[in-house]
Amino acid sequence: MAEPLHPLLQRQLRRAGLGVDGLADRPDGWSALLQHVHRAYAEHDQERYLLERSQDLASEETARLYAALRVERDQLEGRVLDRTTALQLSEARLSSLLSLSADWVWEQDASLLFTYVSDGIRQASGIDPATLIGQRRQPAEGNADEGPGWAEFQACIEARRAFRDFTYRHPAPGEGLRYICISGEPVFTEAGEFTGYRGVGRDVTQATLAEQMVQELARFDSLTGLPNRNMFLGELDRAMARSRRHGDPFAVCFIDLDRFKTINDTLGHAAGDLLLKTMAERLRLTVRGSDMVARLGGDEFVTLLEHCGEMADLTQVAEKVLLAMAEPISVQGCSFLVTGSVGIALYPRDGDDAAMLLKHADAAMYLAKERGKNNVQFYTAELAQQAAQAFEIESALRLALARGELVLHYQPRVNVQSGTLQGMEALLRWAHPTRGMVPPGDFIPLAEERGLIVAIGRWVMNEACRQIRAWRAEGCAVPRVAINLSARQFADTSLNKDLRETLRRHEVQPQDIEVELTESVLMAEPEHANEVLRHLSAMGVHIAIDDFGTGYSSLSYLKRFPADTVKIDRTFIQGLPGDADDTAITQAVIAMAHSLGLNVVAEGVETAAQLQALQALGCNEAQGFLIGRPMSAAAIGLRLQAG
């Protein structure tokens, strides 16, 4: 039996009024046609089914994919949100840190044009960051001359290297020049392509200016603004190197103001400062711009004259300097004349190192002072000879000390009224094998200058104590012995200790010793002097002020020192009794000394008339040729035994 016709075909046949049953048995071609249509309908159904099925499948897949995508999107969104929050936090942190610090951040593109500069630069340097965007880093004029710094920095940038703490000067409108310190590093893409620099900046203007000031102070004299000794010595070294290369000699002029100390002491420091400043300015204007004028200290100036050619030219320059200095100067409403003395030494003739040149120019300057001030002297063979002689004496003196050629002579001091022996002054002599007895004036200044005096002074101390003990061993009554102390000895910190040990060694009492000091020794360092004297005085050592009247001659300051005795200088005694001034001065000194409870000794008493005058004036003691010349220990020993 044939399968039933497709339902849709059956419905269409019925709608057309044709019965379905029996159709298949009709003989005409209907049956075949109907079978054909039926198959077509069935095939169509099959196709439609397949299509619909595949459509269903596709939409299910889409829904699944969509759901997965949604999950993924949600996750991504969450991550982005997290990241954004973190980024915002970190940005806030950075900007808050940046606003707290005085630094700023900058970025440049591959052409080194600024793409970003944080606002910090405005607060720190007064520079509007907007004005920098699209610009290159522009140094102020002159940076290129500031040594290798800028060039090195450029080389570092060219090499795309990182840099730290490079400082350059940046012109800031309305703010002047700012010193800016930057650190930075190059930025590269992952592929290694250079995209620019980024880094931080800092304004270091204040610190840099402060540092510059310190450096200035180290090289320049703060009072006059002239180069100081340090800078001068550096320049002197360079001048010597130049001269060695080119064979040109040059000159060092040592300039000292005459009587500066007097002016400073009488008019005060402010006036002294003004004087120095004026002189510095005059010196600067007198020499060529290329010649250096420096202040070595105090009233000592020095100039370095290169390309000076002949001696005559040098003399001319030096005389010009003297003329300029001698112009009247007005201080505190008064007009003064201050002159200078100039000493010149030549390189390489007069010395081949800085110390030697300065020393010789200084020696020549002293000669100028000796020759009446306000003049110029060159370092000469004669001066060289004097220096050589001094050296010779120094060596001989060292030997003398070792060989025992030094001796002490003793000069008696007596009571003016009774003539009884009150004391003796130990005076040093050098028993020179060929020159005979050399007086102390011929070698003590040199010993003082060369520092030998400390050793010599120790010898004197020891010898005096040894002698006191020896005399006593011979049964003599020995009065107090005075020894002279010079400035250098007095400044020596071991003086007290040395003296105490020497006394102990020879079993001599401090009361048996008197030390003599001049006013200038005391006034060189009054604080120190006072301390040393208080120690000595506390020990029981007597203290005498020697050569009184030749220095400050102020009795009132004597109150500050624990002195026992004042020795009036020989020059005042010489005028007694004829010279009214000398008499008045001697009288005044005696009266004032007595009012302070001091013992007064007259030095250099040579005549009976002088002694009489001193008796009349109430002087306590006298020392001098009239009473007795300085004599050997043996000679005075006889006198002690007799007395």
Collapsing DSSP states into helix, strand and coil, what is residue 167? strand
What totals of helices (H) and strands (E) does the chain contain, helices first? 22, 21
Q: How far is the CB of 548 from Mg ion (least distance, A)?
A: 8
- Which is nearer to ligand C2E, 84 or 415 (by Cβ)? 415
Shortest distance in whole angstroms from residue 604 CB to ligand C2E: 4
Integer Cα distance of 202 and 104 in angstroms: 7
Touching ligand C2E, residues 505-534 (CB under 6 A): 516
From candidates 315, 547, 551, 564, binder to ligand C2E by CB under 6 A: 547
219, 230 Cβ separation under 8 angstroms: yes
**Beta carbon nearer to ligand C2E, 280 or 427:** 427
CB 483 within 8 A of CB 426: yes
Q: How far is the C-alpha of 541 from the C-alpha of 48, rounded, in Å? A: 143
Q: From residue 453 to residue 472, what is the string marking binding to ligand C2E with x (rule CB under 6 A)?
A: -------x------------
Q: Does 565 bind ligand C2E (CB under 6 A)?
A: no
- Is residue 589 part of the contact set for ligand C2E (CB under 6 A)? no
Interaction between residue 602 and ligand C2E (CB under 6 A) = no
Question: CB 623 → ligand C2E: shortest distance, Å?
Answer: 6
Q: Which residues contact 520 (CB under 8 A, 6 or more apart)?
A: 487, 551, 552
Residue 625 interacts, among ligand C2E, Mg ion, none and using kind-specific CB cut-offs from 5 to 8 Å, with ligand C2E
Residue 486 near ligand C2E by CB under 6 A:
yes
Contact range with ligand C2E by CB under 6 A, out of 83-91, 118-126, 367-375, 623-631: 623-631
Q: 91 to each of 95, 107, 188, how far by Cα in Å?
A: 6, 16, 22
Per CB under 6 A, which region of 21-29, 220-228, 277-285, 435-443 contacts ligand C2E?
435-443
- Structure tokens given for 281: 């300015």
Closest separation in Å from C-beta 622 to Mg ion: 13
Least distance from ligand C2E to the Cβ atom of residue 343, Å: 28
The residues, any chain, with a CB within 8 Å of residue 34's CB and separated by 6 or more, are 5, 9, 23, 24
Q: How far is the CB of 444 from ligand C2E (least distance, A)?
A: 5
Q: Which of residues 404-433 bind ligand C2E (CB under 6 A)?
A: 411, 427-428
What is the phi/psi pair of residue 274, to 5°? -60, -40
Write the DSSP symbol of residue 139: P
- 81: which residues sit within 8 A by CB, 6+ positions away? none
Rounded alpha-carbon distances, angstroms, from residue 299 to 258, 339, 566, 600: 9, 12, 33, 37
What span, in angstroms and rounded, lies between the C-alpha atoms of 216 and 221?
A: 9
The residue written with tokens 């360079």 in the block is 238
Phi, psi dihedral angles at 510 (to 5 degrees): -55, -35
Please say whether the dihedral angle defined by the alpha carbons of residues 425, 428, 433 and 436, taken in this order, is positive or negative: negative
Rounded distance, CA 5 to CA 18, Å?
A: 13
| Interface with ligand C2E in residues 278-297 (CB under 6 A) | none
* 8 Å CB contact between 304 and 317: no
Give the contacts of 461 (CB within 8 A, at least 6 positions apart): 483, 498, 499, 502
224 belongs to the binding site for ligand C2E (CB under 6 A): no
Backbone angles phi, psi at 110, to 5 degrees: -65, -25
Q: Does 444 bind ligand C2E (CB under 6 A)?
A: yes
Q: Which does 486 bind (CB under 5 to 8 A by kind): Mg ion, ligand C2E, none?
A: ligand C2E
Q: Which does 333 bind (CB under 5 to 8 A by kind): Mg ion, ligand C2E, none?
A: none
Q: Which residue is nearest to ligand C2E (CB)?
A: 624
Beta bridge partners of 410: 426, 631
The Cα angle at residue 305 between residues 304 and 311, in degrees rounded to 5? 130
Rounded Cα distance, 544 and 564, in Å: 6
Cβ proximity to ligand C2E: between 421 and 428 the closer is 428
Measured from the CB atom, the residue of 49 and 625 that comes closer to ligand C2E is 625
List the structure tokens of 260.
Answer: 């500066």
Query: Which residue has its beta carbon closest to Mg ion?
Result: 516
**Does position 541 bind ligand C2E by CB under 6 A?**
no
Q: In the bound complex, what is the minimum distance in angstroms from residue 583's beta carbon to Mg ion? A: 20
Considering the complex, what minimum distance in angstroms separates the CB of residue 547 from ligand C2E?
A: 5
Which of 15-23, 28-36, 220-228, 436-444 is the region at the interface with ligand C2E (rule: CB under 6 A)?
A: 436-444
Q: Which stretch binds ligand C2E (CB under 6 A): 52-60, 227-235, 440-448, 592-600?
A: 440-448
Which residues are near Mg ion by CB under 5 A? 484, 516, 546-547, 603
Q: Does residue 252 touch ligand C2E according to CB under 6 A?
A: no
Does position 630 bind ligand C2E by CB under 6 A? yes
Among 441, 527, 580, 642, which residue sits at the site for ligand C2E (rule: CB under 6 A)? 441
CB 133 within 8 A of CB 117: yes
Do residues 530 and 559 touch, judged by C-beta distance below 8 A? Answer: no
Asked if 300 interacts with ligand C2E (CB under 6 A), we say: no
Among Mg ion, ligand C2E, none, what does residue 428 contact (CB within 5–8 Å per kind)?
Answer: ligand C2E
Least Cβ distance, residue 233 to Mg ion (angstroms): 40
* Helix ranges restricted to H, 268-380: 269-286, 311-325, 354-370
Residue with smaller CB distance to ligand C2E, 224 or 411: 411
Centroid of chain to Cα 127: 35
**What is the distance between the alpha carbons of residues 216 and 227, in angstroms, rounded to a whole number?**
9
Element (H, E) at 195: strand 194-203
Contact 457, 486 (CB under 8 A): yes
Biggest alpha carbon–alpha carbon distance for the chain: 200
The minimum distance between CB 456 and ligand C2E, in angstroms, equals 7
Nearer to Mg ion, 512 or 546 (CB): 546
User: Using CA atoms, how far apart are residues 622 and 610, in angstroms rounded to an integer?
Assistant: 10
User: Per CB under 6 A, does 194 bind ligand C2E?
Assistant: no
Q: Which is nearer to Mg ion, 257 or 573 (CB)?
A: 573
Closer residue to ligand C2E (CB): 196 or 549: 549
Q: Which stretch binds ligand C2E (CB under 6 A): 229-237, 298-306, 555-563, 604-612?
A: 604-612
Which residue, 305 or 485, has its beta carbon nearer to ligand C2E? 485
Triad 581, 585, 587: Cα angle to 5°:
115
Residues 365-394 touching ligand C2E, rule: CB under 6 A, are none
Judged by beta carbon distances under 5 to 8 A according to partner kind, the member of ligand C2E, Mg ion, none in contact with residue 620 is none
Give the residue with the Cβ less far from Mg ion, 106 or 443: 443
> Which residues of the chain form contacts with ligand C2E (CB under 6 A)?
411, 427-428, 439-441, 444, 460, 484-486, 516, 546-547, 570, 603-606, 624-625, 630
